Each structure stands twice: as structure tokens, then as C-alpha cells.
Amino acid sequence: MEPIHFAVSLILTFALTAIFLRFLIPALKSWKLGQKILDIGPRWHKSKEGTPTMGGLAFIAACIVTSGITVGFITARDGIAGSSALLLSLGLALANGAIGVFDDLVKFSHKRNEGLTAGQKYFLQLLVAGLYLFGMVMTGNASTELFIPFVGIYLDLGIFYYVIALLVITGIVNSVNLADGVDGLVSCETTVVGIFFAAVSLTVGDYHAAFMSALLIGACLGFLVYNFPPAKVFMGDTGSLFLGGLLVGLAFTLGNPLIILLAGVMYVVESLSVILQVTSYKLTRKRIFKMSPIHHHFEMCGWSELKIDLVFTLITALACCLAWFGF
């Protein structure tokens, strides 16, 4: 993929996402698919009650259209086998997005803030991740050797590779979902991570990963048009799970799955804050943070959503600069 093709894919995904949202937001309002706000959160979040959610459908549709145009040319040039990592990674993202759609619809059908149970959701995510790994191994795009960033060596972990890979895939997908609690936060962070992966992909000449990076950046920037504080729409689990799947697919396509733990460090911090909060409360009946995930802690400390977006995105950018040396 030449830089011009990368740019066209990015711009097309951006434009389609913004256009689709222009029509999707009124439709979501008419279907009464608005966000339910829990009473335990910051009190000012109550003003967000009823804001249309499932807006991730717009950038999923945009990615499908762009992929439909571009992937045909890629497979014609490289063949199905040569494009297998790209196709499997897009499938991973779409499958996780489908889980998100189901989860969001369950919330609305039961008129509650929680959709699928944690066990139900994780089972489906494990199933999708397992099928993805099976496909990657069967097509020769993955093995039991795990690349260790910065050290530059491969460790043959045998069957334990699949355990680690499953944890990385489901962990990052769920971490992106947890991070989606402040207007614009996931869109801003993921744009930066997408730029990082784009730079790496174009530098090493992995044009399949470059195309996925273009989808990621275009989708997030297009969504940010309507999701920047104060948000006119939320992506819902529909969007956050899709983005998480696309991020993980990028890391695996580039053969460096562990690097997402550094480039996406703020996603990891969000998950760790929840784990620490729950563990602390169960063991000591005391909370470490005012609220978790950690972006809510800073909200409770008086930070504006814009400040959280700025600080978290800056940390993500610094982490991506460091991650550059991990390839």
C-alpha cells in the first residue's frame, strides 16, 4: 500500500463515519436507544441520560465499506492466502463488534445499564479469540513462538503461547471497553495508537497492517466529530469491542502482540484500576480509588472530561514513542 492509498483509505473511513453518524444519531433517538446512567457515578453524568448509544455502528459500517473497496484489490494482488492475516483480523474486530451489538441490545430490551453477564460476554470473547488464533496458526501467520519486545528474541512457549495470546486478546478488548466512560477518551487514545501502528506498518512495509491502521484512525477521527465533549453520541459496547478487536488484530498481524500492552498502556491502567479496586474492597472493605475505572477517579477529583482526554492521550503518545523501540 502506497502512502497515497493509505491516505485515501483513512479519509474515506473518516468521511463515511461522519456521514453515517449524521443520519444514525436521529435514528437512534427515534428508536429510544439512549444511554442509561447509574446512580453510583459522578452526579453530573446524569445529564448524559438518554444520549444515543451504539454509535459504533457508524464506523463499523464505514470500515466495512472501505474494506469492501480496498480488500478486493489487496486479495487480487496477494491472493486469499497472502491476505489471510488481514482478513482474519478484520473478522476478529467484526466478531467482537457483533458481541457488542448483542450486549447493547440486551441492555435496551431489559431497560438496564448491564447487558450480558460478565461470564456470558467473556465466553463469547474467548470463543472468538480462539477461532482467530486457530485461523492465524492454520494459515501460517502465527506459531507458538512469542516475540519479546526490546529484547528482540522469540520464545517457544508451546501450548502456553495460546494461553497468553487469549489473555492478551480478551484483556485488551475488555480494557478498551472499560476506558469508554468519558466523552472522546477512547477515540482520542485509539487515534494515537492507530498513528503509531500506521508509522510502524509503513516503515516495515506491512501494507495489510497499514490498511487496518487507516481504518482505525479514520473511524476514531470520524466518530470524534460527534463524540468530543459534550458528546452527541456514544459508541457503546458495539464500538469499543470492535475497536479493541481491531487493535489486537493489528498487533498480531505485525507479529508483536505484546507491544499493545505498552502502546495501549492507558487501556491496561483502566483494567488494573478495576482489579485493584475490587480486590482491595473484598479483602479490606476499603477502596483505593474514589471510583473505578480510573478515569472516573479523576472526574471525582474535579478533573474535566477535556483534561482527562488530554492527559490520558498525552501519556498514550509517550508510551507509543517508547513502544517504537520495541520493534
Radius of gyration of the chain (CA): 19
Identify the CA nearest to 244 among candidates 221, 228, 220, 225. 220
Identify the CA nearest to 29 among candidates 57, 68, 66, 55. 55
pLDDT in the model for residue 74: 87
All three cell numbers of 181: 466512560
Asked if the bond preceding 230 is cis, omega within 30° of 0, the reply is yes
39-43, 69-73, 251-255, 313-317: the lowest-pLDDT one: 39-43
Mean pLDDT of the chain: 94
How far apart CA 140 and CA 143 sit, in angstroms, is 7
pLDDT in the model for residue 134: 96
pLDDT tens digits for range 266-311? 999 999 999 999 999 999 999 999 999 999 999 999 999 999 999 9
Inter-CA distances, 132 with 84, 126, 251, 267, 294, Å: 11, 10, 13, 22, 30
pLDDT tens digits for range 72-114? 888 888 888 889 999 999 999 999 999 999 999 998 887 766 7
The larger pLDDT score, comparing residue 113 to residue 150, is at 150
How far apart CA 185 and CA 175 sit, in angstroms, is 13
pLDDT in the model for residue 37: 64
Number of H helices, E strands in the chain: 12, 2
Residues 6 or more apart whose CB falls under 8 angstroms from that of 280 comprise: 286, 287, 288
pLDDT in the model for residue 110: 77
Give kind and range of the element (H or E) at residue 146. strand 145-148
pLDDT in the model for residue 42: 64
pLDDT tens digits for range 3-27? 888 999 999 999 999 999 999 999 9
Q: What percent of the chain has pLDDT over 90?
A: 85
pLDDT confidence band for 48 (50 / 70 / 90): confident
pLDDT tens digits for range 117-127? 999 999 999 99
pLDDT in the model for residue 43: 64
Residue with cell 444515543: 52
Q: What number of residues does the chain have?
A: 327
pLDDT over 60 (residue 39): no
pLDDT in the model for residue 108: 87
pLDDT over 80 (residue 213): yes
How far apart CA 228 and CA 226 sit, in angstroms, is 6
Residue with cell 483505593: 288
| 141-168 core/surface letters (b: 16 or more CB in 10 A; e: else) | bbeeebbebeeeeeeeeeeebbeebbeb
pTM: 0.96
All three cell numbers of 33: 436507544
pLDDT over 90 (residue 146): yes
Residues 6 or more apart whose CB falls under 8 angstroms from that of 229 comprise: 182, 183, 184, 304, 305, 306, 309
Give kind and range of the element (H or E) at residue 153. strand 153-156
